[in-house]
Structure 1
């Protein structure tokens, strides 16, 4: 299993390793999963999905958004102010994956899990972001095409780079800040590299980013039925919800580290958030139009994603 974060980061440690251990245990050691972090098998994070597709590795953890335009339906959950919390969002994402993405966007892979992180936060040097106007001209690292569209629409200059490049880019002033969840900030030393963290009040996060745990299809198909069952028993809706929930749980220590660094935590009030929602609306409208151009009913997908999010949030 190949992925892009250092092994001590939360997802490798608390999501991927437990998954690997469980699969090994339930298969009586017949399936051994070796974890390789920080791109140690070579390549760049955007190449992970093809490493699984080509069979260079068996399983990868990655972001569909690292391949812009290739997994269009998965982008729906990255649209602004879509997500309430990562567990409800991951349940909604898995449902929509089953109905709309499994046999389309991801037909060449065996997807073991599909989840999202907790509320996206703006982490910036200096005074940071206290209101919409403060975004003007800020060089911010964003993870995916949709989120970069959100950054430009709100006035920032989005800079694309893989997660591991963020600390150096901050220390060399290549970027003024980054959007990421608190969960991964400690692994990237963000609390020491920025002074301000901007959160959004209300029941919806500014954004989230979506992930997949993807397996080479031929490798999965080559397993005997009893071993396929072990993989299946540990994959899917429940695992996805667990992964999303775990990521959001680890936002707490990340936020605490920012407080311990005496950084400023700015919480935008509902009136200010309403201004951001208005500024971000074109991101949603443009995405729907792009989907329609691809022959996908964008408005329908967006509405169904929202309805699923609502359903699982209120469970």
Structure 2
């Protein structure tokens, strides 16, 4: 009988101790190389900060290349359904599902500073998108840096050079722009881009500098062209999110650790990582001897004018869907203006 009481007491003590010092492993997933900018300068440091600030009670495992299953466009649903605990989502990979997010992706909407654009993204997300993402827990919302045209062969130097080119685009608004420029847009997630280049499916495409080395664009393309000025040709909107039930099921003190590494600071942190990666990526491509050019101001103005036509088309589309398209564009512009100059 005394042994029974001892065993019961020991079991109670073990249970109480485990509950007090609960340890959690969170599995997050993304779809790019672990050597690319966001995993290197944001995801992994974020995971390390969570582990350190929780005194090791939260372990964050980061899985690249969709190693936990699924495809890049399905990331949001994988998180929502609990197939993974969290991950990196590009809402634009599911066209028309999150239409209000597209305002930030319109041509020449954001500055070329990803940190500034990401501060604007968090601002806009808080005002317009939290209902859209209500079935996950949003940790950060951010943008990448300047969008650049990468191409096999000679660079695009004028607007006319786009004519007939098959170019990869990451989102609906970007493919709208490419079509307006005279190209044949082919929408695809970034993991498919290298194979599409190598097989001649596309002549090039648009992505930021930071991802170019991990996709081996120094070998697969020959020229790289940016627009003139302070604003990016296009941009892409991301969220770093986790399963809502997993987040809400954490003990209060562990949830507080996640909260301390969320919001505006995390969004800017992610954007800053892209800015760092853009410098590194551009330098690596330049070292391979590829031609790096920039449209003249006059040609950039011609492209910008077509970008404005895309913006007006988008506003009309949104109005037809029951949204106030002009108000969404104005809100995105206000968020960008309010956060220009916030970068270190």
For normalisation by structure 1, the TM-score amounts to 0.97
Alignment of 1:113-262 (within 5 A): 113-262=140-289
User: What is the deviation of 1:289?
Assistant: 1.5
Partner residue in 2 for 1:54:
81
Deviations 1:228-276 (A, max 9, x none): 1110100110110111121012111211122112211121121111100
Pick aligned residue for 1:98 from 119, 126, 135: 126
Partner of 2:17: none
Report the alpha carbon displacement of residue 294 of structure 1 after superposing the two structures with TM: 2.6
Instruction: Give structure 2 stretches of 5+ with no counterpart.
Output: 1-27
Displacement of 1:297 after TM fit?
A: 1.4
- What is the CA–CA distance in structure 2 between the aligned matches of 1:288 and 1:152, rounded to whole Å? 17
Q: Which runs of 5+ in 1 are unaligned?
A: none
Alpha-carbon distance between aligned partners in 2 of 1:136 and 1:284, rounded to the nearest angstrom:
21
Deviation of 1:6 after TM superposition, in Å, equals: 1.9
SS at match of 2:59: coil
Q: Say which SS state the counterpart of residue 6 (structure 1) adopts.
A: coil
Distance 1:161 1:301 in 2: 26
In structure 1, how many angstroms separate the alpha carbons of the residues matched to 2:59 and 2:284? Answer: 35
Match of 1:27 among 35, 54, 79: 54
Instruction: Kindly report structure 1 stretches of 4+ aligned residues shifted beyond 4 Å.
Output: none
Task: Count residues with an aligned counterpart.
Answer: 314
**Partners of 1:250 and 1:304 in 2: CA distance:** 28
Cα separation, 1, equivalents of 2:51 and 2:224 = 40
Shift, 1:295, TM fit: 2.3
SS at match of 1:249: helix
SS state of the match for residue 187, structure 1?
helix
- Does the CA-based 8 Å contact 2:36-2:277 persist in structure 1? no
Whether the aligned pair in 2 keeps the contact of 1:4 and 1:62 (CA below 8 Å) is no
Q: Separation in 1 of the partners of 2:341 and 2:44?
A: 30
Query: Aligned to 1:276, which of 303, 319, 328?
Result: 303
Is it true that 1:71 corresponds to 2:86 in the alignment? no
Whole-angstrom distance in 2 between the partners of 1:237 and 1:295: 30
For residues 37-66 of structure 1, the C-alpha deviation after alignment (integer angstroms, 9 at most, x for no partner) is 101111110011100010110101021101
Deviation digits for residues 272-313 of structure 1 (CA, Å, limit 9, x no counterpart): 111001122221112112222232211111112112212211
Compute the RMSD of aligned alpha carbons: 1.1
Larger gyration radius, structure 1 or structure 2: 2
**SS in structure 2 of the partner of residue 123 of structure 1:** strand
